[in-house]
Chain A
Amino acid sequence: MATEKTPFDQGRQAQGVFATKPTDFTKSLRTNILWQMVRFVVINIKMIKVIRKSHS
């Protein structure tokens, strides 16, 4: 059964129509343990570079 749309829902949909949204694949990568372990290392390296640059 379709639920009734509240004014809030209508406003939210109108805003969301033109927003970029992630695909299911992108969303799955966000919580994929193996991929995120790789990203953990990459992000930490990027952060360390900026921290070193900021302390120099």
Chain B
Amino acid sequence: MSRPRVVILGAGVAGHTSAAFLKKWLGKEAEVIVISPRPDYNWIPSNIWVGVGLLRPDQVTFSLPPVYQRKDITFHQAKATVMHPEGQGDDHTPFVEAESTLEGRAGEVIRIPYDYLINATGPKLAFEATPGLGPKGHSLSVCTAPHALEASLALDESVARMRKGERQRFLVGTGHGTCTCQGAAFEYIVNLEFELRARGVRDKADITYLSNEFELGDFGMGGIHIRRGGYVTPSNIFTESLFAERGLRWVTQAHVKGLEPGCASLEFLNGEEGEERFDLAMLLPPFKGVGLKALDRQGTDITDRLFAPSGFMKVDADYQAKPFESWRASDWPHTYQSPAYRNLFAAGIAFAPPHPVSRPRQSPKGTVITPAPPRTGMPSAIIGRAVARSIVDMIRGAEKPTQTASMAEMGAACVASAGANPFRGTAASIIVFPIIPDFERYPEYGRDMNHTFGEIGLAGHWIKILLHHLFIYKAKMLAFWSLIPE
């Protein structure tokens, strides 16, 4: 009898964590197969430091094939395109189609059968949602290591101009009304400011933060409250304080309609329009699903059944449309199993959130200007591990998933760098529990105030450095890697 096959689409935080634990727990009992269009693992949180020239891309990435070979995990460098969860025709074996991205074999279609499938494809960086957005347009990004390198080179050029006496305008933030990952934009702008000071040209720079958040400090999580100095204080107070202290200007409630060289056209929540001029813009794109299709046995397109319109995969969440006041923490998924197929799961950014966390808002023209909920980093890894454990148990006879990892029942520890230097650097250490506010359990603030915390200081920077090395070590699956928590 052949071994069960577990196929994982994607080798980011969620997919790679799933693959690593599946292999650790199953050993030779099952075949673990990873399909990813890129052969490298990227520790994305450290891309910020590549983007300001403090790290090289090779310090935040490593090659996956040798790691997978060492651990007996099969790797296909390919882009998954079509899922066949019922098989095809008379053959009932589910399989996935993928197009090779290997040099010399690009476009070649491979078919990989599976017994269990984890969709951990992460996001498509939807630069096309805003005309002129992105490295192929008129702005930069730090979403991938090559993008971050490009941002760093552009920064060097700006610094050279400032050294000649020119003023430079920097615009950092979100490039669309529905963006997520404001934390990355926050980290980039404060690191940029720190770096300009370190290079002695801060007085020549006008730096503006541009965001789709209703107010600073929302971060797509509806903001957080922390106890500090005898008060329970909302995160917008802290974020404004950080920006004011550093002389950063901010523009919120903004959707970027389009970019032209040196100019971003904006639409605001109140219906007004405006523009921001810049010499260097680092604007994050909105995220969408990667565009996987699904076909049934007869070849009928069932993509709508498996995926939300955003392209993210539907799992065991409550997707019923309802007003903001009716949202519940329990709407969020627990097992990440597809309601349509018991052997199909989504982990990390690939699952469709049931609704935003921040209150949804739109301009009088109907433009949605609301941050999408974040599900990167720690939650992605915890979800990846929980899904892996459920699959292991199902392979061994369990009828249904045995593990839950609801974002409404887990916390997140986030360290946002605010300047990289072992003695003068700082970082904001933020702990939030739970990630998705639960106003039934914690009626006043939606979160457990004994576990929700924020502080800025050098200690945070040391923790950020420690995490960088620990998580890259763990991802390389070196000795005792599984002892490092997600």
- Known interface pairs A30-B426, A39-B457. Does A54 touch B462 (Cβ–Cβ under 8 Å)? no
Select A33's contact among B426, B431, B458, beta carbons within 8 Å: B458
The chain A residues found within 8 Å of chain B, CB to CB, are 6, 8-9, 11-12, 15-16, 19-22, 29-33, 35-37, 39-40, 43-44, 46-47, 49-51, 53-55
Q: How far is the CA of A8 from the CA of B486 in the complex (A)?
A: 42
B residues with CB within 8 A of A: 167, 169, 206, 208, 237-238, 240-241, 243-245, 247-250, 378, 382, 409-413, 423-424, 426, 429, 431, 433, 451, 453, 455-460, 462-463, 485-486
A19-B423 contact given A40-B459, A51-B485, CB 8 Å threshold: no
Known A22-B241, A53-B433; contact A40-B382, beta-carbon cutoff 8 A: no
Which residues of the other chain, B, contact A32 by a CB distance below 8 angstroms?
A: 458
Contacts of A40 on B, CB cut-off 8 Å?
459, 462-463
A-B CB contact pairs (8 Å), 9 listed:
A8-B208, A15-B243, A19-B243, A20-B244, A21-B245, A35-B457, A47-B463, A51-B413, A54-B411
Cα(A43)–Cα(B451), bound, Å: 11
Which 6 pairs from chain A and chain B are nearest by CB?
A19-B244, A16-B244, A54-B410, A50-B411, A40-B459, A39-B459
Residue of A nearest to B167 (CB): A6
Q: Which residues of chain B have C-beta atoms less than 8 A from A31's C-beta? A: 423-424, 426, 457-458
Most chain A CB atoms below 10 A, which of B238, B409, B459 = B459
Cα–Cα distance between A16 and B412 once the two chains are bound (Å): 30
The residues of A that contact B167 with a CB separation of less than 8 Å are: 6
Q: Given known contacts A11-B249, A15-B244, A54-B410, is B485 in contact with A43 (CB within 8 Å)?
A: no
In the complex, A55→B208 CA distance in Å?
A: 39
- Chain B residues near A37: list those with CB within 8 A: 459
From A12, A29, A46, A47, B247 is in contact (CB under 8 Å) with A12
**Contact (A44, B423) CB under 8 Å given A15-B244, A21-B244, A49-B451:** no
Per a CB cutoff under 8 Å, which of B240, B241, B249, B451 touches A50? B451
Tell me the interface secondary structure of chain B in the complex: mixed
Contact of B249 among A8, A36, A44 (CB under 8 A): A8
Query: Contact partner of A55 among B382, B457, B458, B463, CB < 8 A?
Result: B382
Minimum CB–CB distance for B194 against chain A, Å = 12
Q: In whole Å, how far is B79's beta carbon from the nearest beta carbon of chain A?
A: 32
Contact A43 B245 (CB under 8 A): no
* Least CB separation from A8: chain B residue: B206
Nearest-neighbour CB distance to chain B for A6, whole angstroms, equals 7
A46-B455 Cα distance, complex, nearest whole Å? 12
User: Are B433 and A36 interface neighbours, CB within 8 A?
Assistant: no
B176 to chain A, nearest CB (A): 23
A30 to chain B, nearest CB (A): 4
A43-B429, A50-B413 are contacts. A29–B457 as well, Cβ < 8 Å?
yes
Residue of chain A at shortest CB distance from B208: A8
| Neighbouring B residues of A11 by C-beta, 8 Å | 249
Residue from A8, A39, A50, A55 in contact with B431 in the complex, judged by beta carbons closer than 8 Å:
A50
Report the separation of the CA atoms of residues A15 and B456 in the bound assembly, to the nearest whole angstrom: 21
Please tell me if the beta carbons of B249 and A15 are within 8 angstroms of each other in the complex: yes
Q: Which residues of B are found within 8 Å of A8, using beta-carbon distances?
A: 169, 206, 208, 249
Closest to A9 in B: B206
Check if B411 sits within 8 Å of A53, measured CB to CB.
yes
Minimum CB–CB distance from A19 to chain B (whole Å) comes to: 4
- Distance A55 CA – B383 CA, assembled complex (angstroms): 10
A22 vs B378: C-alpha distance in the bound complex, in angstroms? 30
Rounded to whole angstroms, the CA-CA distance of A10 and B244 in the bound complex is: 13
Besides the known contacts A35-B457, A40-B459, 7 further A-B residue pairs in the complex with CB atoms under 8 A apart:
A8-B169, A29-B457, A31-B458, A32-B458, A46-B453, A47-B429, A50-B411
Q: Is the CB of A12 within 8 A of B249?
A: yes
Chain A neighbourhood of B247, CB < 8 A = 12, 16
**B431–A46 contact, CB under 8 A?**
yes
B429 to A19, Cβ gap below 8 A?
Answer: no
A12 and B459 alpha carbons, distance in the complex (Å): 29
Which residue in B208, B410, B453, B459 is a CB contact (below 8 Å) of A36? B459
Rounded to whole Å, the gap between the CB of B240 and the closest CB of chain A is 4
Complex: A18 Cα to B64 Cα, angstroms: 50
Closest residue of chain A to B461 (Cβ to Cβ) is A36
Give the complex CA separation of A8 and B204 in angstroms: 12
Of B243, B413, B431, most buried by chain A (CB within 10 Å of CB) is B413
Measured CB to CB, the closest approach of chain A to B419, in angstroms, equals 10
Q: Contact at A43–B241, with CB atoms within 8 Å?
A: no
> In whole angstroms, what is the CA distance A6 to B485 when docked?
49
Q: Which residue on B lies nearest to A16, using beta carbons?
A: B244
Inter-chain contact A39/B248, CB cutoff 8 Å:
no
Contact present for A36 and B462 (CB under 8 Å): yes
Q: How far is the CA of A8 from the CA of B247 in the complex (A)?
A: 10
Give chain A residues whose Cβ lies under 8 Å from the Cβ of B378: 51, 54
CA distance A50 to B430 in the complex (A): 11
Chain B residues positioned under 8 Å from A21 (CB to CB): 241, 244-245
